[in-house]
A = this chain, B = another copy of it.
Amino acid sequence: MAELRTVRTAVAGAGGYSGGELARLLLAHPRLQQTPPLFLGRVADETGSIPLEQLQPQLARGRGRTLPPVQAFSWELIEAAGIDLVFLALPHETSREWAPAWLERGIRVIDLSGAWRLHDSTNRAIYKLTDADPALAAQLQTEAVFGAPELHREAISTARLVANPGCYSTSIILALAPLLRAGLVDLDHGIICDSKSGVSGAGKKATDKTHFMYAADNLSAYSVFGHRHTGELLEQLSLTSAQIQFTPHLLPIPRGILSTLYVRFAAPQQPEAVERTLREFYRTSPMVRVRAAGDLPQIQHVAHTNFCDIGFHLAPDGQRLVLVSCLDNLLKGASGQAVQNMNLMYGFKEEEGL
């Protein structure tokens, strides 16, 4: 029996929510059983290493068995480990600054931040990124592949730098892309994306808006006409800012996104045709589940999974469509999708370990 191909991975930023889910997935990934990931993080301790279970107690193993430690970064460490691929689960400024150094050493990068997702510098301006070497950054940006496997499977498989999509964006892009590509949508009318996300999407930093008392028993809209993920929608769906608008809301739940999308068809359609268009588009995609007409997904259906579920209702007039798209923001919206990208990059089965 031939040996299974593997990959030597590193995870930078193992302490956050995405980092925790990434660690959980990679530690259980069938292809990484012989080569567990190298975890990198802030290690105050002078030993240069802390137990991963200290940052992520839910991952602890029983019976005294330990997890790989979280280690202080050094290129010596990386080289000694022979790392092939690094996951950057870091603030976007850090990713933007640091990714070139990994690539330069021949290490492929899956970046979970917004640093490399936007090809148009106007769209990217909202991240306030600065580049030490603008020419290099521009070249890498051109090369970077937006890591939506359902849209860019081929390009991802050979990419050196994969920009893992935003959580909101994934839920919106996957629902709209099939209908836009099929030319069904009246673009002049404008598309409305009313999205709702659990609190883990706001990150682990304690702020006034991640305080339990702010989020619990509440719902709030924010960043209306100004959310960072809007640029991804424009670029990936080839739309102008007049053609799509996006309103995120903060839900009082830990994880999950539901996007309710309002689309006008250029001409009346039958529900069956809409369903067929969606199903056909995702025929070869293992991580998207299309629902029958009128059967809407809910956040519970996707929580703790890497699926994106898509359902819809079509008005009797055949033109007004309500699409509902759900995913787990930490999995299909972040770490699960990152592992899906790794699978593609190394020729594993797309859904392996997910």
Chain A positions within 8 Å of B, measured between CB atoms, are 1, 17, 57-58, 60-64, 189-190, 192, 194, 196, 199-200, 204, 206-208, 210-222, 224-225, 242, 245, 247, 249, 251-256, 258, 260, 262, 264, 279, 282-289, 296-305, 307, 313, 315-317, 320, 322, 324, 351
Residue contact A217 to B254, C-beta cutoff 8 Å:
yes
Residue contact A249 to B245, C-beta cutoff 8 Å:
no
Residue contact B322 to A286, C-beta cutoff 8 Å:
no
Instruction: Give me 6 other A-B pairs in contact (C-beta within 8 A), A63-B284, A217-B256 excluded.
Output: A62-B351, A190-B264, A194-B194, A199-B216, A225-B313, A245-B320
Tell me the bound Cα distance from A283 to B301 in angstroms: 37
A212-B212, A249-B260, A322-B225 are known contacts. Are A217 and B300 too (CB-CB below 8 A)?
yes
User: Given the complex, which residues of B lie within 8 Å of A224, measured CB to CB?
Assistant: 296, 313, 322
Residue contact A64 to B260, C-beta cutoff 8 Å:
no
User: Given the complex, which residues of B lie within 8 Å of A303, measured CB to CB?
Assistant: 58, 217
Tell me the bound Cα distance from A317 to B264 in angstroms: 20
A62-B289, A301-B57 are known contacts. Are A242 and B317 too (CB-CB below 8 A)?
yes
Which of A62, A192, A224 is the most central at the interface, judged by chain B CB atoms within 10 Å of its CB?
A: A62
Residue contact A253 to B216, C-beta cutoff 8 Å:
yes
Instruction: Please tell me which one of the listed residues B61, B206, B247, B279 contacts residue A260 in the complex, with CB atoms under 8 A apart.
Output: B247
Taking the closest CB of chain B, its distance from the CB of A198, in whole angstroms, is 8
Instruction: Please tell me which one of the listed residues B62, B199, B251, B301 contacts residue A288 in the complex, with CB atoms under 8 A apart.
Output: B62
A213-B200, A224-B296, A307-B62 are known contacts. Are A219 and B254 too (CB-CB below 8 A)?
no
Which of A301, A307, A351 is the most central at the interface, judged by chain B CB atoms within 10 Å of its CB?
A: A301
User: Given the complex, which residues of B lie within 8 Å of A258, measured CB to CB?
Assistant: 219-221, 249
Tell me the bound Cα distance from A297 to B192 in angstroms: 20
Which of A64, A211, A247, A254 is the most central at the interface, judged by chain B CB atoms within 10 Å of its CB?
A: A211
Tell me the bound Cα distance from A300 to B219 in angstroms: 8
User: Given the complex, which residues of B lie within 8 Å of A296, measured CB to CB?
Assistant: 220-222, 224
Taking the closest CB of chain B, its distance from the CB of A281, in whole angstroms, is 11
Tell me the bound Cα distance from A132 to B63 in angstroms: 44
Residue contact A211 to B211, C-beta cutoff 8 Å:
yes
Instruction: Please tell me which one of the listed residues B58, B199, B215 contacts residue A301 in the complex, with CB atoms under 8 A apart.
Output: B58
A213-B200, A322-B221 are known contacts. Are A252 and B249 too (CB-CB below 8 A)?
no
Taking the closest CB of chain B, its distance from the CB of A22, in whole angstroms, is 16
- 17 A–B contacts from the bound complex (CB under 8 Å): A58-B300, A58-B302, A58-B303, A63-B284, A63-B286, A192-B192, A204-B213, A206-B208, A206-B211, A211-B211, A220-B296, A221-B324, A242-B317, A245-B262, A245-B322, A251-B251, A252-B252
